[in-house]
A and B are shown apart, each in its own frame.
Chain A
Amino acid sequence: MLNRRQFLLGVGGGTVLLGMGAGCSRPAKPATFIANPEEHWANSICQLCPSACGLKVRLANGHPVTVSGNPLHPVNRGGLCARGAASLQLYYDPDRLSGPIVRRQGLLGGWGPLAWSEGISALSEHIAKASARGRGRVAVIRGDNRDLTSQLLGRLVRASGSSWVVDSKSPGERAMERVLERMHGRGGPVVYDLAGTDFLLSLHSDILDSAAQTMSLQRAFAEMRSSGAYFVHAGPRMGITGAKADAWLPARPGSAGVLALGVAHMLIKEGYERADFLRDHCRGFDDWTDEAGVHHEGARSWILREFSPTRVAEHSGVEMDDIIRISRQFGASKRPLALGPVGAAVTVAPFDMMAVHVLNAVAGGIDVPGGVLIARGTPFAALDEPEKMEPGVIDSVPADAGVEEFADWVLGSNNPPIEVCVIHDADPVFSSENGERVAEALRKIPFVLSTSAVMNDTAENADVVLPGSLWIEKRCDATGMDGKAYPLVSLSVAAARPRADTRNIADVTIEVARGLVPKVKALFPWSGYDELIEARAKALYAAGVGDTFAESHMSVWTQLLARGGWRSPSYDSPRSLLASMERKGGWSDPAYYHGEWRRIAPHAGHRVDLEAGRFLASGVSASLPDTAGHEELMLNVYSEISLQTGENGSLPYLQDSASPLSQAGWTLSAELNAETAAELGIAHGSPIEISSAQGVIKAVAVLSACVRPDVVAVHTGGGRSAGGRYAAGIGANPFVLSPSFSHEVRSAASAEERAVMVSVQPERRA
C-alpha cells in the first residue's frame, strides 16, 4: 500500500510539462473604446456537465467578460470547477458554427448554409413521414433529461410513436440504475452523503478525478475531511482521488465488486454487520425456505463462502492484511460508506455496483445520514415520462438502452428502420466506447440532425446542424439535486446576445411539434419556451414545497422548518416565484425525510432485495488474467476532471489542464509504473505506442510509482476528428483499443470478460 508521502516522492520531480499548445491566435477585431462601460451581473447555468452549477456572468456593455459561481446555488455555492471557469471560451470559440448548415448532396459534398425555417421544415417533414410509416422510426440521443429542452425532444419522439429516447448517462450511473431497479424496484439517482460519513471506502470510484457531480462532490468531500473522516481509495492508479486519501490500495482493474464483498465477508464474520438494519430493511440476507419447502441460500452464506480475504486478495491484487485491517476499520466506524466506480470512463459491470450496494446494506448505510440516499424528485413529472404520454411500445428496445444498444438496433438487419435521429447535447461518436459503430449507425439513418454549437465528431455524421444557443445566450433551466439529495430547479436569464445565428432548441422543438398532426400538437400547448417556463412556475407554486435559492444558512432554516412541518416561502404567487428564481438562480426543497421506505424501495415488501442482487454476480468466480511475467498490460481507461469524456474538447484552457496530476496537456499521457517502464525500455516523457487487437494509439509516457505494475493507465478526452482548432487531432482516443462488445457482454457481471490487454512499447520512428 502506498501512502500519500510515497506517492509524492514517486511523482515529485518526475513530471514534465508536455504542453504543445496549438496556435491559438484569433483574428483581431476592431474594438470600440468605451470609457465607462456599463457593467452588470446575470445568473446563468453551466451546462458542461450534469451538475448544472449556478453561474454569475459579468457583462460589460453586454459582453461577457468574467464568469464566477452563483453563491446562492446549492450545488456549487459560488465555486466553479475548471470546466465552469473555462465556459466563456465556448462563447468566444472562433470555430463555433455561425448558423445552420446542411450537407451538400452531389459529388462535391461538404456543407452549405441553411435558413432556420428550412431546417425546421425539414425536421418536421421527416418526422411526419417517418411516424406515418410506422412506430419506432424517430429517435433522439441526448446528454440526459435534466432540462426542459431535452425533455421536449423526448416528448416529441414519444409523441411520434417511438421509444427511442437515448440518454448518454455515465457508465457508473447506468450500472447503478440497473442495481436499483433490481434491488429497490425503482430507478435513481442516488446521492452519496460524503459530508456525513466518518469512513469513506472508495472502490475504484475516482470521485475526485472524474465523477460527474464535480462541485457538489468536492464540497461534500471537503466537509467530510474537515470533520475528520478517514478515507481509503482502492484502484489501479492513485490519481487525484488516491492522492487525497489516507491510504491507497493498488487494486486490479475490475476488482471493485470482489473487494466490496471481501469487506462484507469480514464484517459478517467478525460481527460488524448492522443486524437491525438487515432485519428491518433488507430481504435475502439469511437463508430461507419457501412455501414449497425449497431452501434458498441468502447473501450471508454466499458472501461467507465465496469471498474470503484469501480469495479476494488473490482476485484483487490487494494484500490480505490490508483487506482485513480496512474491513475492521470500516466495520467499527459509526457511519461507514463505500463508493463503487461512480466516475468510471468505461462500462461498469453491474456486479461491481451491486456488490458495493450490498456492502453498504450490510453496514446499514442506506437511507441514513452519511450513507446512500435515494434522491427525492422534483414535485412535477418530467415532460417525457412515458406514463404521461401515448405509449410508443417497441418491445425489442432494452429498458436501459444506451447509445451502443441504439447502434446495434440500427445496424441490425431485421429491425424496423430508424428514419430520423436528433442528437442534442451529446457527442456519442467521440465519447462512446464503440464510437465508430455509432457513426456507422448514424450514416445508415436517412435524416440525422445535430443541435451542436460546434462541429463535433457526431455532427460530422449528420445531415443538418441547427446550432442551439449556448446557455449564456438564452433563458434556460435544469433540474437536479445537491449533495444531500434535495431536489432543485435552476433557472437562468439570457445573459448575453448570441454570437452566431443560433436559437433556443426548446423553441425549435415546440415549433416542430406544433406543425405536426393534431394529436402531437395537443401535447405541446405552449407557444414557446417562455410560456412553458411560466407553466412550470405555476406547477412549482402549486406544489407548495421548498423555496427559492438563498444563502446557505437560510436554506438550512427552510430545511429545519420543513422537518417540523412548517414552511414560509419568500414568494406569494407564481409570478413572484418566477421572478425570485431568476433573481436568485432557482428553487430547491432542502429537506430529506429518512425512513420513507415505500419511496426508497417501492417493490413488494419495501426492502432492499439482496437476493435479487445476486443475478448480477454470474462469472465472478472466474480468475482474472494472470499478467505476471507477461509483456501485455491491462488497460485502465479513466477520465480526467477537466476534459472528462471530452465533450468540452474545444476549450483550450481545458486542453491545457487535461491531466492535472501529470501536468501533461494537449496530448495523451499514459501512466506507467516506473519499474515496468524500465523493463520495457521506456523513459519518462518519451513517446510510446499502445496497441491492442483492435488498434494502436500514441501517447507520452508518464512514469510513477502510483500505478500498478501490470497496468497502463490512459485518459479520455483526446483524439477527436472534429471540434475546431483546439480539439481536432489533439491527443488520442483510448477507445480505439477497445473491442466492440455485444450488449450481453456489456451487461455481463465479469470484468475479466471485458478486460483489454495491450502491448506497450517505445514509439517506432518512421
Chain B
Amino acid sequence: MKGPSTRGVARGSARKPAATTFGPITTGVARGAALVAFMAAVTASLLLCGSPAAAAQSTAKSSLSAQQLNALAIEAKDKTFRGDAATGWKLFREKNCLRCHSVWGQGGDVGPDLGRTRTLGHVTAGQLAGTMWNHVPRMWEKMEEGGIRLIPISPEEMSHLFAFLLFIRYASEPGDAEAGRRALDDYGCSNCHSTAAEGGNVGPDLAEWARFVNPVVWAQKMWTHAGQMRETMADMGVEWPQFDGDDLNNIVAYIRSSTTGEHKEYLEPGSISRGRSLFEKRGCASCHKLGSSDGIGPDLQKAELPETLSGIAARMWNHAPKMLEKIKERGVGADTLEAQDMADIITYLIARRYFLAGGDAKEGWKVFFEKQCVTCHAIGGWGGKIGPKLSPIKGNASPILMAHVMWRFGPNMLAQMADRGIPWPHFQGSEMADLIAFLNQETATDGDESPGQAGKGR
C-alpha cells in the first residue's frame, strides 16, 4: 500500500470557503417515543427564543392572506437549499437554545445534547417540522410562565437552523480510542498493520495516517487501496472486515492517541452542490438511481443507511470489493475518489435523505382531514375560510415553511382553535411529510375536483 495522499484534504483551503448548505426534503417513518423526545428537545430549543405574551401579541395581528402565505412558501422553498450550518449555530446561540441544550458537550444540560441523538435513527426535515408543531403549545405555556419573549424566526433563519441540526447529526465526534484499539484487534487489522511500531508489518504503520482526523479520509484511503488490500488479504486467507457503527471513528481516535498528535489535517464540510455534480460525473449515478429501484446498486435515498458520515464511509468500505469489481467492469471513475469528493458525495446523499424524503399525498389528504386542517383552511375549493386558502402554495410547501408558519402564526391559530374546540394537531411519523406532499400536489387548485380524488392513484 502506498503512503497516504494529501490530495483532497483541506490544507488552509484548497477551495474558496464554502458554506455548508443543504437541500429540501420530506418523508419519514414513526420512530416511537425516543424520536418524539428528540423532536421535543429540538422544538424546545427552537422555541426558547421569545416570550409567549409577545408571541400572542405579534400573532394576534397576523391574519395571513393566501397571497402572503404563497410568498412565504416561495421564500421558504428558495431558502431550503441555502441553509448554512455555521449561521444556524450562530442563531442557535442567539436564540438562547444553548441555555438548555448542548451540542457535543457545549451548552446547557436541561435538555438533551442535540449532537448525541443518533440512536434515534434517521430523521427527516419533515419529521423535524412535525415534531415542532407537536410541542409548541406546551412550550408557549412555559415561555409565558417564564416571561420569555418570542423572537421571530424568518424562513431563512429557519433554513439555517435546519441545516445546523442536520450537520450536528451527521458529523461525528471524536471516537473512543479504547474501542478503536479493540476494533483493530477484533477485525484482525493489527495482524498486518502496526500502530506506532506495535503490530504487524505487512501493511504500513497506521500512525503515518494519524494526522487525518476525519474518518472520511480514512475511508477514502482504504477505498483507494482496497484492490491491493483485497489481493493481499486473499493471499493470507483473511476475510474482508465489515465495520459497524462507530468502528471507523473509534479506530481513528485510537490511531490519533498513539501519536504525538501535533499535526492534523481536516476536510471541509461537504458541499451538496459539488456532491450532486460528483455523483453524476464520477459514475455513481450509473449504478445508484436515487429514488428508483432500477439501478444496479441500491437506491441510496431509500436504503437503510447509517446516520453519520463516518458510518456511511464505513459502509462504503464494507462494500468496496463488490463495488470496485462493478466499477472496473463498467469502466466508471469512482475508484479514484479524493477524500473531499467522498465527503461531498456523502453529504449530498445525507441531505437528500433529510430534505427530499417525499411524503405520500394520498396519506397527506387523510392527514388534512383527520387533523381538522380542513375546518379552517380550504384547498381545491374544499374547507373552511377562517384561515388562508392553501391551494396557492402548491408546489412550494416545505418543512421550512411549515416550521416557520407554526412559529410565526401558531399562537393565533392556537387561540382560534381553542375557541372552536379544535384540538392542536399532533403529527406522527411521516404525517407532516405526507401533508406537505398533499399540499404540493399539482391538481389541488381552487375549483378542481376534491382533494381526495386528486390524491388517489399517486
In the complex the two chains form, is A596's CB within 8 Å of B256's CB?
yes
When chains A and B are docked, how far (Å) is the Cα of A579 from the Cα of B165? 32
**Stretch from A562-570, A646-654, A712-720, A731-739 at the B interface:** A562-570
Which residues on B sit within 8 Å (CB–CB) of A568? 17-18, 20, 86, 268-269
Known: A541-B12, A597-B257, A598-B196. A560 touches B268 (CB 8 A): no
Residues in B whose Cβ lies below 8 Å from that of A94: none
Chain B residue with the shortest CB-CB distance to A558:
B86
Cβ-neighbour of A556 out of B15, B106, B212, B213 (below 8 A): B106
Contact with B along A542-569 (1 / 0, CB 8 A): 1111000000011011011111111111
How many angstroms between the C-alpha atoms of A566 and B103 in the bound complex? 16
Q: Measured between alpha carbons, how far is A166 from B314 in the docked complex, in Å?
A: 52
Q: Does A593 contact B (CB under 8 A)?
A: yes
Q: Which of B168-176, B284-292, B362-370 contacts A (4 or more CB under 8 A)?
A: B168-176
Residues from chain A with Cβ under 8 Å of B93 in the complex: 553
Contacting B265 at CB < 8 Å: which of A544, A564, A572? A544
Return the chain A residue nearest B216 by Cβ: A565
Q: Is the CB–CB distance between A561 and B269 below 8 Å? A: yes
Q: Are B11 and A602 in contact (CB under 8 A)?
A: no
Shortest Cβ distance from B338 into chain A, in angstroms? 15
Query: In the complex the two chains form, what is the Cα distance from A598 to B260 in whole Å?
Result: 5
Question: Is A377's CB under 8 angstroms from B103's CB?
Answer: no
| Interchain nearest-CB distance for A307 vs B (Å) | 33
Nearest B residue to A577, CB-CB: B12
A640-679: which residues lie under 8 A (CB-CB) from chain B?
none
What residues of chain B lie closer than 8 Å to A563, measured between beta carbons? 104, 173-174
Any chain A CB within 8 A of the CB of B425? no
CB of A250 to closest CB in B, whole Å: 37
Query: DSSP class of B's interface residues: helix, strand, loop or mixed?
Result: loop
A565 to B266 alpha-carbon distance, docked (Å): 5
Please give me the residue from chain B that is nearest to A576 by CB atom.
B13
User: What's the Cα separation between A214 and B71 when bound, in Å?
Assistant: 54
Q: Which of B17, B214, B260 contacts A569 (CB 8 A)?
A: B17
Q: Are A595 and B13 closer than 8 Å at their CB atoms?
A: no
A574 vs B13: C-alpha distance when bound (angstroms): 10
A566 touches B261 (CB 8 A): no
Which residues of chain B are within 8 angstroms of A544 by Cβ–Cβ distance?
9-12, 265-266
Let me know if B263 is at the binding interface, CB within 8 A.
yes
A685 at the interface (CB under 8 A from B): no
Name the CB-closest residue of A to B105: A369
**Is A569's CB under 8 angstroms from B174's CB?**
no
Q: Mark B238-273, 1 if CB is under 8 A from A, else 0.
A: 000000000000001100111111111111110000
Assign chain B's interface to a size class. 35 or more
CA distance A599 to B262 in the complex (A): 7
CA distance A304 to B157 in the complex (A): 60
A567 engages B268 (CB within 8 Å): yes
* Residue of B18, B215, B253, B266 contacting most chain A CB atoms (<10 Å): B266
> Given A567-B10, A598-B261, A599-B260, do A553 and B216 touch, yes or no (CB 8 Å)?
no
Residues of B within 8 A of A565 (CB): 171-172, 212-217, 252, 266-267
A557:B86 contact, CB within 8 angstroms: yes
B269 touching A572 by the CB < 8 A rule?
Answer: no
Query: A560 to B106, Cβ gap below 8 A?
Result: yes
A378, closest chain B residue (CB): B262
CA of A573 to CA of B213 in the docked complex: distance in angstroms? 22
Asked whether any CB of chain A lies closer than 8 Å to the CB of B16, the reply is yes
Task: Flag whether B90 is at the interface (Cβ < 8 A).
Answer: yes
Chain A's nearest CB lies how many Å from the CB of B260? 4
* Distance to closest chain B CB from A454 (angstroms): 39
| Assembly CA distance A565 to B20 (angstroms) | 14
Verify if B89 is at the interface (C-beta below 8 Å from A): yes
Q: Are B18 and A553 in contact (CB under 8 A)?
A: no
The digit string for B1-21, where 1 denotes a CB below 8 A from any CB of A, is 000000001111101111010
Judged by a CB distance under 8 angstroms, whether A233 is at the interface is: no
Chain A residues closer than 8 Å to B215, beta-carbon distance:
565
By the criterion CB–CB under 8 Å, are A566 and B12 in contact?
Answer: no
**Residue B406 at the chain A interface, CB threshold 8 Å:** no
Contact B172 A560 (CB under 8 A): no
Task: Report B205 CB to chain A, min CB distance, Å.
Answer: 13
Q: Which residues of B contact A597 (CB under 8 A)?
A: 257
Complexed CA–CA distance, A557 and B104 (Å): 11
Q: Does B177 contact A (CB under 8 A)?
A: yes
B124-147, CB under 8 A of A: which get 1 and which 0?
Answer: 000000000000000000000000
- Among A544, A560, A564: residue with most chain B CB under 10 A: A564
Interfacial chain A residues near B177, Cβ < 8 Å? 595
The residue among B15, B17, B177, B259 with the most chain A CB atoms within 10 A of its own CB is: B17
For B18, the chain A residues whose CB sits under 8 A away are: 568
With a CB–CB cut-off of 8 A, which chain A residues contact B174? 563-564, 593
CA separation between A543 and B103, bound complex, in Å?
27
B126 → chain A, closest Cβ, in Å?
Answer: 25
> A572-B15, A596-B261, A602-B260 given as contacts; is B268 within 8 A of A566 (CB)?
yes
Q: In chain B between 14 and 70, which residues have their CB closer than 8 angstroms to a CB of chain A?
A: 15-18, 20
Q: Which A residue's beta carbon lies closest to that of B86?
A: A557
Whether A566 contacts B267 by the Cβ 8 Å rule is yes
Residues of B within 8 A of A562 (CB): 213, 264, 266
Looking at the assembled complex, report how far the CB atom of A369 sits from the nearest CB atom of chain B, in whole angstroms.
Answer: 8
Indicate if A73 sits at the interface (CB-CB under 8 A). Answer: no
Given contacts A554-B90, A572-B17, contact A599 B261 (CB under 8 A): yes
CA distance A556 to B92 in the complex (A): 12
Which B residue's beta carbon lies closest to that of A556? B106
Chain A residues closer than 8 Å to B262, beta-carbon distance: 376-377, 379, 599
Docked-complex contact A596 and B259, CB < 8 angstroms: yes
Would you list 27 pairs from A and B whose C-beta atoms are within 8 A, ordered by A residue?
Answer: A542-B12, A544-B11, A544-B12, A544-B266, A545-B264, A545-B266, A554-B86, A556-B89, A557-B90, A560-B104, A560-B168, A563-B104, A563-B174, A565-B214, A565-B215, A565-B216, A566-B171, A567-B266, A568-B18, A569-B10, A570-B17, A571-B13, A572-B16, A596-B261, A598-B196, A598-B257, A599-B262
A contacts, CB < 8 Å to B: 376-377, 379, 541-545, 553-554, 556-557, 559-574, 577, 593, 595-599, 602
Besides A544-B10, A565-B212, A566-B268, 19 other A-B contacts (C-beta < 8 A):
A542-B12, A544-B11, A554-B90, A560-B104, A563-B173, A565-B213, A565-B266, A566-B266, A567-B266, A567-B268, A570-B17, A571-B17, A593-B261, A595-B256, A596-B257, A596-B260, A597-B257, A599-B261, A599-B262
Closest 3 CB pairs of A and B: A565-B214, A567-B266, A544-B11
